[in-house]
């Protein structure tokens, strides 16, 4: 019996050590281009789970009165910055500087189609209720209505800019759009655009991006289907496709992030970056795009931050980032019915 107990303790120790190493590698994902190491990028994706497991092991070692808790504590300490990017407690604040207030939202709307139900009327009702002045859509689609009827649907937004390539992008604005430009990532998936809006005497640049998809939802559906049918070869093939898609998307998003960062660095106007990055705050992509910009969730977010409803609601992959010219007043990411992504809404104060 004593030998069995010793063997069990050794196995638990080894397992906790492996999980600690995975979480530590996840910390490196922010700084290493996925083209150099897909394994580290993958560790970044699973960082929420590995950190959760480390918290469990800390509790286990303390209960069993073993000093091995330090092994599980170290990766949590190393990932403090990441933890602050997914959990915050920041109540809304008042606009004490009396700067110009702007309410902007970003949302992947899943082509305005959920469970075979057209949802754009729900989106417009929501936008009016939230008093949103600028909306950046990803996976926007005109399949359900002609371009001539856009103004009838979004009649409170007199200005808009659309980028049509694959999954479309669109920005609706209550402010005049001075100019706009598509961003050519030179890939089949991944779109970007920017617009310059006129706010009084000032010009503000808005970026709207949708980076390379991981196809998580599609592969999950295929895996669940093969599990129901009990088709083992299909399950294995789906897992292999999922890994292949992840590796490819890591590299493509990294290329897109580098290009986007170059464009952002040449921008002389106060800027806001909106979009579905398809990557977490533990990723190289997030850190490359963010640079010195402010993450709206980190400044004004509250409780656990997630925007993607799949995979146990563990992932925050939709963002609003902004330059130092702005101060975040309020951040919300409400649960909605029309997409597998929650929208992100920021109320900002523009400091001239």
pLDDT tens sequence for the chain (352 residues): 666 777 788 899 999 999 999 999 999 999 999 989 888 999 998 999 999 999 999 999 999 888 889 999 999 999 999 999 999 999 888 887 778 999 999 999 988 877 657 777 788 889 989 999 999 999 987 766 655 556 667 888 999 998 876 668 999 999 999 999 999 888 778 899 999 999 888 999 999 999 998 766 555 555 555 555 655 665 566 666 777 778 889 999 999 999 999 999 999 999 999 999 999 999 999 999 999 999 999 999 999 999 999 888 889 999 999 999 999 999 999 998 889 999 999 999 998 7
Contact (Cβ atoms closer than 8 angstroms) between residue 138 and residue 166 = no
- CA dihedral in degrees (135, 140, 145, 151; nearest 10)? 20
Q: What is the CA radius of gyration of the chain?
A: 22
DSSP state string for 303-350: EE---B-SGGG-B--EEEEE-TTEEEEEEE----SS-SB--EEEEEEE
Q: For residue 33, how many other CB atoms are within 10 A of its CB? A: 17
H helical segments located in 29-183: 38-45, 47-63, 69-78, 80-86, 120-129, 150-153
For residues 341 and 110, give the distance between their C-alpha atoms in angstroms, rounded to a whole number.
Answer: 8
Longest CA pairwise span in the chain (Å): 80
206, containing H or E segment: strand 202-210
Q: How many alpha carbons lie under 13 Å from residue 261 in its C-beta half-sphere?
A: 16
Kindly list the structural domains of the chain, giving each domain's residue range(s) and its CATH number in brackets, ordered by start.
2-78 (no CATH), 95-215+242-350 (3.60.10.10)
Q: Give the predicted TM-score (pTM) of the model.
A: 0.89
Report d(CA 283, CA 23) in Å as an integer. Answer: 13
């Amino acid at each position: 019996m004593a030998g069995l107990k010793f063997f069990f303790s050794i196995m638990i120790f080894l397992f906790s050590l492996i999980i600690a190493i995975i979480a530590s590698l996840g910390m490196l994902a922010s700084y290493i281009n996925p083209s150099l190491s897909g394994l580290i990028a993958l560790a970044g994706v699973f960082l929420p789970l590995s950190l959760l497991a480390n918290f469990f092991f800390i509790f286990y070692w303390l209960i069993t009165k073993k000093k091995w808790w330090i092994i599980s504590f170290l990766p949590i300490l190393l990932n403090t910055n990441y933890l602050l990017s997914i959990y915050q407690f920041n109540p809304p604040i008042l606009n004490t500087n009396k700067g110009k207030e702007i309410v902007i939202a970003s949302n992947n709307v899943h082509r305005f189609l959920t469970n075979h139900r057209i949802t754009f009327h729900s989106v417009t009702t929501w936008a009016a209720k939230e008093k949103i002045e600028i909306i950046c859509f990803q996976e926007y689609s005109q399949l359900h209505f002609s371009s001539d009827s856009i103004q009838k649907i979004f009649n409170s937004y007199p200005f808009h800019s659309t980028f049509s390539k694959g999954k479309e992008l669109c920005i609706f604005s209550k402010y005049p759009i001075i100019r706009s430009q598509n961003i050519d990532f030179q890939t089949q998936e991944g779109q970007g655009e920017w617009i310059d809006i006129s706010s009084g005497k000032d010009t503000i640049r808005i970026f709207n991006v949708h980076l390379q998809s991981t196809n998580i939802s599609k592969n999950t559906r295929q895996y669940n289907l093969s599990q129901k049918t009990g088709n083992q070869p299909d399950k294995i093939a789906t897992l292999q496709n999922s890994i292949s898609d992840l590796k490819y998307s890591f590299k493509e998003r990294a290329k897109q992030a580098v290009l986007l960062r170059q464009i952002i660095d040449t921008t002389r106007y106060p800027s806001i970056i909106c979009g579905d990055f398809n990557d977490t705050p533990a990723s190289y992509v997030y850190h490359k795009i963010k640079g010195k910009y402010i993450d709206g969730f980190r400044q004004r977010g509250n409780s656990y931050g997630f925007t993607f409803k799949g995979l146990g609601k563990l992932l925050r992959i939709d963002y609003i980032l902004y330059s130092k010219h702005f101060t975040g007043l309020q951040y919300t990411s409400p649960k909605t019915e029309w997409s597998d992504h929650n929208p992100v809404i920021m109320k900002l104060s523009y400091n001239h």
